[in-house]
Structure 1
Amino acid sequence: MQKKKVSRLAAGLLIAQASFLPFSVSNVAANQVAQKSASATHAPARVGQFNVGDQVFVGLPSNTIRDDAFIIGRVTHILDNGDYQLQVMDYVEGHDYGAFCTPVAVSTTSEYGDGWELWQDTRSLRQANLEFVVPRDSVMPYRTGQYHYIERNNTWVVYGRWISDAPILAPERIERARNDAPNYGLEGMTDAFNLAIAHRMAFYENGWGRPYWPYETVPFLNGLLDEVEQILAEDEQIKALFFAKPRDREVLNSSVRNVFLISALDKLVKDSYNQLYEDLSKADAQDVDRLTARLAKLGYEPRR
């Protein structure tokens, strides 16, 4: 699979997609943009919102966030149905745009008149004599789109820091990411973030202080498994995905909720299981037995 690349102009929009390095925008700046163009941030662009010559941001969100893509372009023509023809200025390389864009031949004679015979690589939008028509609902004002996708990425960074057991990650930071996520089309992360907060509280004093001794975590871990069991009991699709071996990748990646909730459940159960092999001599024996039995029902049998 071809690795995505971000060119110099686009590099200021997203962090490298293979790292967890934070790339933050100040809340003040983000709030100013949101206040000035809230309707554009949370609603599709309306027909007639942009004019020829405007620089715009075209978002292609993904359920994993890491696979988000975008196009930066200048409007050259507005179609009768409200879609926009763009001269592409920048874009995320490595993404296949074939099902999203319609190529239009310009400054040349096209045998078929639509530019498809000139578009030799649907992962590239740099080919000469081509402009591209994009759906109007995906087009945002440039600055609004820029901040929108930065904040999507920042939300993913917070989640990634939890997954990688960042030593200093206050539950309040996770809570803020959870509360902001719906603003960026990520309401499906709510349950995963709730589990992340509960996980931090189970392993760290106040969620970010000293790490608890393994024996201290046992009552908290039983509480975590209460939440895990409730989710599995209430959501048949999540339950089927959790226990499936192997998992159906198409179903797993079909929604933001599936992607992140399964990831969170995996971490909670695996981390709980690993505690069984720490020194639990000071823990309540009945609590340990209960934890062991519940993990076995979740597919984590004690090692022999």
Structure 2
Amino acid sequence: MPINKPLISSRNLLETINDPYLMIIDTRFSLFDPDAGYDLYKKSHISGAIYAHLDNDLAGTITSSSGRHPLPDIEKICTKLKIWGINDSSKIVVYDENNSAFAARLWWIFKWLGHSKVSVLNGGFDDWCKNEYPINSDIPKYKKGNFECKISNDITWSSEMIMNWLSSSNDFVLVDARDSKRYRGFEEPIDNIAGHIPGSINIPFTEFLRKDGSWKNKNEITSIWRCYDINTHKEWGVMCGSGVTACHLSISAEIANINPPKLYPGSWSEWISDKSRPIKNER
């Protein structure tokens, strides 16, 4: 399977494991224990994989007006990718524990930086281990790469854009990837305020997954999107709590051959940083 499709299976990855252009990146992470992912990586990971930390590598500096995971500084992330050994010719496979919630963020970042040869390991590290494929605890070192960014600027929405649309009663389609209880405002384990942006709709990213964290098949994913008539909209956006699992919806859209959504990177955690912005909940 070529590494330009959104997903790659463990078997297909194993078949290409000796490809000299292959680079594997482990993104396991816990929002509630930021060191847990790297600790797991040090114990064992897919052979040859390097590690990317959500807070330290895949996000920028948090400010009083940003969300919890603003996009990384372009110059810094490009320099980091070179240090990791990433080249323009690299074929990237990213993975996390199982449901790709964090791997999807790095997949989206590569797309944002203009690199199309990137796939997410379907089922993640759990699926790889279930098949008893090779793992180790070695920390690889690679020769500095020549990766060059080719930024796609028109793939994000800002808080100001959404606020303007709300103020002028313009129609827009914004899909919130958080679970239903958070969206409806019944609970909020992470952010200070519960609820959602008025006018947004809720499609939890987990709807597209099986119980083991792997993606459902293309027909099932397409049927879910069809229920919401997303494919009829020329431009639409995705969000979540901090711009991470929203990227998961982007992958599910690509699988279903739907027009790619814009990402609202700040998402809910940025939206609520300004008390003048309207919120809605069902409590």
Higher helix share: 1
Q: Same fold (TM over 0.5)?
A: no
TM-score of the aligned structures, taking structure 2 as reference length: 0.22
Q: Which has the larger radius of gyration?
A: 1
RCO comparison, higher one (Cα < 8 Å, 6+): 2
TM-score of the aligned structures, taking structure 1 as reference length: 0.21
